[in-house]
Each structure stands twice: as structure tokens, then as C-alpha cells.
Structure 1
Amino acid sequence: MDKVRKEFPVTRKGIYANTAVYGPLYDSLIDWRQEHDLDFLLHGSGMRKKSLQILSDTRKTVGQFFNCKREDVALINNFSTGLNVLLEGLHPKKKILLLENDYPSVNWSFENRDFDISYVKTSATVEEKIEKAIGAQHIDVLALSLVQWLDGFLIDLAFVKKLKTTYPNLIIMADGTQFCGTRQFNFADSGIDVLGASAYKWLLAGYGNGFMLFSDRVKELFSLSTIGFNAANGDFDKKDAIRFAKQFEPGHLSCLNFGSLKFSMEFMQRIGMDKISQYNQLLSEKAKQQFNSLGLLEDRIVERKAHSTIFNIKVDTRVFNHLLENNVSCAQRGDGVRLSFHFYNTENEIDAIVKILKTAL
């Protein structure tokens, strides 16, 4: 990964352990974006045909990246907007199961509507609690983040797939913003009905782009009223023949933003998502072992077999400031400090963070 790391200037300023806040831009993406804008500068409306092709190709690339049919891919500006559009089409009396303290844009979107909501507290045995609640309460919809934003808690994907087999009528909706781009993922084989994500974090695509993926049955269970000329591809005759995913695209989309998403996915595919997955797992195991040796992790994280590359360590503002003073980019979240690692980070950087922490603890 050393060659790839050179693409990211931010890594030369210190230790960038903050992808959970924002995935840094990189040299080859900036080159593409500058060339794109230069084309607009020189050709104006002559770029229209190329712009539409970029958007079409982005849907195809997203579908290939996650193994989802192209026609079931919606391009959205961000996850929060996409989820709110979707929930307007869900019957208000559905019984919903959420996780306590999940990302606000997930939970608030349900809580702000007339749903019957229950909660499960995140713990080392959260999957067992979820399954028990679904069976006992006859839950219609399970909605959660695959990776929890506060501490990187990773939901067992094998459990999600098994849950769908046990409860085939259950609608499973997932926020993948802190997950997508960290490892290989097969949507068609996941058991998930809706996967949405903003792509400015682990997919390294900058602000203003994201996607939603849909299973076949979702189209039968949601009734959307969102519409616009772009959803019909600018064709008056297609007003009454708009496919489900296009209802999330009522207006014009930025070919710069979504072209950036396409470029970044292809960039990661060239590296190899299998290699990225393996490397991130190595970073995760290394960080978990090191932070646990300092007694900085919650028991529910330590007791789990698998974890993401996001960690919330139990330190105060003084230690947070000490990390910043030593050029470690990180964030305060909840009662601790959140550190997050991606494929441009190194094992040596984790060792360096541990050494810095030891001088402050």
C-alpha cells in the first residue's frame, strides 16, 4: 500500500486517523476533477451529453462494485435525504426496530414519523437481542447502521443474512456510510433490502454524492410520490413509467460529484477490494489489540470477534488535545476520542499513536 499512500498528501502532514469524519481527496482524483471542470469551462452546454453519460456510467459502476442490478441503483446527494424520501413511501403503522444511539439521521428519520418504534441496546450480544425482539414483537422493519458511528461497532453480516432467511418478510434497511469502501460487500447475497450511503468517507469521493441500493421486493412495499423531469430522463412520455430507483433522482445531478464517486470506486477496484479488505482487517486487529492493552476499549468491543477500523478510546479532552498537538487527526465522539484507519494508514502509525497515548495516560 506504500505506493497508494503517496496519492494522499494529507498523510504527509501527520497521522490521519479521521476517515470516519471525512475521507481525504487524493492526487489522481483531483486531476480528474480539474480536467472535468476545464471541459465545462471550454464547452459549456456541449458537455451535456458527456454529463449524462457520466451519471449513467456511475450507476453501472456502483452496481458492479456492490453486486446490485444497475436499475436498482439510485444516485443521491447524501444518505439522509435518500432515507427521508424512502420513508415517505412506507405505511406509517409499521413496527420498527432501531438500535439505541445509532446515527441520528437513521433514528430521527423514523422517530419524526408516526411509526411504532422499539429499540435494542448495543452490546456484545446485540444480534441475539435483535432476533429475540423481532420474534417477540412482530417487527416489520429493522433499520441500523452496519458500523456504528460512535465506536465502530460492526454488525455481524452473516447474522443479517441468516435473519432474512428466518424472517423473509422482514424489511432490512442499512446505513453503510461508515462501512461501504472498507471491505468487499455483495448486496445481492446480503439479505439487506435497502442499503444507503454517503460516499465522502470510506469511498473517498468528496461531498455531494451517495447511493441507495434496493432489493426487488422493496418496490412492492413502498409507494413513493417523489417526481421530477429528471426522473423521467427529460421525456414527457415517461411520466407514468418511472422506475423505482429513479424516483430518488427528481432533479439534475452533478456529474462532477457523481463522476468523482465513479472514479474513486474504479480507483479502489484497481487496488483490489480483496486487498483493501485484508489490509483493513489487519489494521483493525492491530489497533484493537494495542488499545485494549492500554485498557482503553469498552468491554462490548473487546468481547466481539470482529470489529471495524473505527475505535473510540476512553480518554478525556486533555488526551485528545495531546493527540492533536502530536499531529494525530482524530475526533471527540461520545465520551471518548474516535480514531479511524483506512488502507492509506500503516501499522507503524498505530504504534506511534500508542506511544503518544502512553506519554499522556
Structure 2
Amino acid sequence: GLNSPLIRNRVVTTEIEFPTVPQIWYAHEKFGAQVDVVPVRPDGTVAIEDYEKRLDSKTLILSAPFVYYLNGYKQDLAELARVAHRNGALLMIDAYQGLGTSPIDVKAMDIDFLVSGNLKYLLGVPGIAFTYTKQAIVETLHPASTGWFGQADPFAFDYHLNYAHDGRRLETGTPPALAAFAANASMSLIVEVGVQQIKQRIDELSRYCIERVKTKQLDLVSDFDIEHKAPTTAIRVPNSHNLELELRKRDIVCSSRGDVIRIAHHFYNTEDEIDHTVNRIAELVSRV
């Protein structure tokens, strides 16, 4: 939906994005986009200078995640915005892997676009996703993927394009009503508890989880400073998929990604649950 001069046609994204996002950008190459992917460092991070080296006068947008899905590495969104804007580029943040666990002030951080969904840490179900777009940008967007809900007057039933003047212009058709009820209930709970309080509890559990994983001499992949760590704690293991299945047999839900198994606690989890999970992982790994 972005109208840009031909001189700005580069999209800078990164290997720490969930694959769907770069795949979407690559699909835009047929419209003239040039996609540049910033590689992940050996320690599982991407530094600000790694992005800055790729940004130039031809860059239209920097597309980056709030949190690396594999290991829980959390990025400094305000710093990403400063780097992008210093080079004349827009910033789009995929917050799916961390929204609801750490405060995000899109205005204070000067974020242009933020996308997420109700699944994961917002405690909802699949089917609800949403986008924040900076007010100054909204009316410059002319989305090709649109529908009647994205028009100024949907109930005029006019088949000509007449985009809404606010964020509604990014809507398409009728939303999934049942998922919307679940989303409203789950996000109300997050607001009731308070995101800052959630972050404090999650940080406590992250410190505890890291300490327990190290005590068990497991291969910790998420050994970050706590300010750069989301709830995800990744452990490198042999045959992560089989380990996930074995944990499920023991009523422990973790997820395998590549060569790691991910523990992903929330504010309602306890230290005892982390102990139990890490102990079972250690037992199963020792049998391999």
C-alpha cells in the first residue's frame, strides 16, 4: 500500500524474523521491491550497527521483529526507529513474539507500523490480527489488498475505491466474530494485570529459568541480559521435535524450533513449574 518514489524500493529485513515476514517481502519483488536480509550473529542477535550498514538512500522500510522467535532475543525498538528514520526509511515492527509481556509505546518509540495478533502472549486464539499505523502515514497508504470494510462507507456498497480516512482503510472484510470475543476477553485480562507488572514477573522467571538451565548444564541459547530477553528460553537439544513429543506425554507443553526446545513462561507460571520442566528436559537429554 506504500506509494514511494522509484528511488526508494529497498526493504531491509533480517534472519531473526519469523519466516512469514521475509516471504511476504520477497513476494513483493514482482512489484519492484529489492529485499536485503541482515544475517543473525553467531550469538543469536542482530546489533544496531548491522542494520545501519544495510540502510541507505534507497531503503523504503526497515522490517524487524520485537523478539526473535527462536531464542527470545528482544530488540530496542526506539533505537531501531532512530536508525531507520536517520536514513529516511520507515520502520515496521512485528511484535507477535512479545506483545503483552513488555510495554510498547508506539508514539514515544516513534514506530511507523506495528503488527501483531491475539495468539501467544495476548492469550487469545488464531484469527485476530491487527496493525498500528502512525496517523501521519495512514492517508498515504493505498492498499491493494482491501475490501468493503476498508472503505469510507462500507454500506454504500459502491464497487469503486474510496478508502476510509483512518486506520480502517487497512481492513478487508468481515472479521471472525467468535475469535473477536475471545480476543476481547484475553486482552482485557492483560490490561487488568498490567503489562509493566507482567514484565517484572516475567523477568523474575527468566532469571530463574536461566539459572536452572545452567545448573543442569544444558546448552542455553538464550543467555542474554534480562533487558534484551523475552519470556522465551531456548535450549539446544538433540532431536528437538521428539523431545517436544516426549514432554507432551508428561503434560509439559514446550515447542521445538530447529535444534532448540523453547520454554515460554507467562506471568501466571511458577518457579516450581520451571523446575519441573527443566528437570524433565535434563532427564530426557541425558538418555540420548
- The interval holding the TM-score normalised by the smaller chain is 0.7 to 0.9
Compared CA separation, residues 321 and 250, structure 1 to 2 (3 A): closer
Equivalenced residue count is 271
Does residue 235 (structure 1) correspond to residue 156 (structure 2)? The answer is: yes
- d(CA) in 2 for partners of 1:275, 1:250: 35
Compared CA separation, residues 297 and 255, structure 1 to 2 (3 A): same
Amino-acid identity (%)? 23
Task: Pick from 38, 46, 51 the counterpart of residue 120 of structure 1.
Answer: 38
Does residue 355 (structure 1) correspond to residue 279 (structure 2)? The answer is: yes
Report 1:19-30 matches (<5 A): none
- The match for 2:55 is 134
Compared CA separation, residues 241 and 105, structure 1 to 2 (3 A): closer
Unaligned runs of 5+ in 2: none
Compared CA separation, residues 341 and 179, structure 1 to 2 (3 A): same
- d(CA) in 1 for partners of 2:198, 2:258: 28
SS in structure 1 at match of 2:143: coil
Greater Cα offset, 239-248 or 249-258: 239-248
Task: Pick from 254, 271, 292 the counterpart of residue 176 of structure 2.
Answer: 254
- The match for 2:220 is 297
- The match for 1:106 is 21
Task: Pick from 223, 229, 232 the counterpart of residue 307 of structure 1.
Answer: 229
SS in structure 1 at match of 2:110: coil
Tell me, yes or no, if the aligned pair for 1:103 and 1:148 is still in contact at 8 Å: yes
Task: Pick from 181, 201, 208 the counterpart of residue 100 of structure 2.
Answer: 181
Root mean square deviation of aligned Cα = 2.7
Deviations 1:262-293 (A, max 9, x none): 22222211122221121111122222233244
Compared CA separation, residues 340 and 134, structure 1 to 2 (3 A): same
SS in structure 2 at match of 1:97: strand
- d(CA) in 2 for partners of 1:204, 1:90: 37
Tell me, yes or no, if the aligned pair for 1:143 and 1:174 is still in contact at 8 Å: yes
- Which one has a larger percent helix, Structure 1 or Structure 2? 1
Unaligned runs of 5+ in 1: 1-85
SS in structure 2 at match of 1:348: helix
- d(CA) in 1 for partners of 2:26, 2:236: 30
Matched AA of 1:250:
T
Normalized against structure 1, the TM-score is what?
A: 0.67
Does residue 146 (structure 1) correspond to residue 70 (structure 2)? The answer is: no
SS in structure 1 at match of 2:155: coil
Compared CA separation, residues 194 and 288, structure 1 to 2 (3 A): same
How far does residue 255 in structure 1 lie from its aligned partner after superposition? 3.1
SS in structure 2 at match of 1:153: coil
How far does residue 118 in structure 1 lie from its aligned partner after superposition? 1.3
Deviations 1:54-96 (A, max 9, x none): xxxxxxxxxxxxxxxxxxxxxxxxxxxxxxxx57x66786111
Tell me, yes or no, if the aligned pair for 1:173 and 1:194 is still in contact at 8 Å: yes
SS in structure 2 at match of 1:252: coil
Compared CA separation, residues 198 and 303, structure 1 to 2 (3 A): closer
Report 1:210-229 matches (<5 A): 210-219=129-138, 221-229=140-148
Tell me, yes or no, if the aligned pair for 1:160 and 1:191 is still in contact at 8 Å: no
- The match for 2:260 is 336
- d(CA) in 1 for partners of 2:118, 2:78: 24
Does residue 264 (structure 1) correspond to residue 183 (structure 2)? The answer is: no
Compared CA separation, residues 134 and 289, structure 1 to 2 (3 A): farther
- The match for 2:270 is 346
Greater Cα offset, 100-109 or 245-254: 245-254
Report 1:23-172 matches (<5 A): 86=1, 94-114=9-29, 115-123=33-41, 124=45, 126-135=47-56, 138-164=58-84, 166-167=86-87, 169-172=88-91
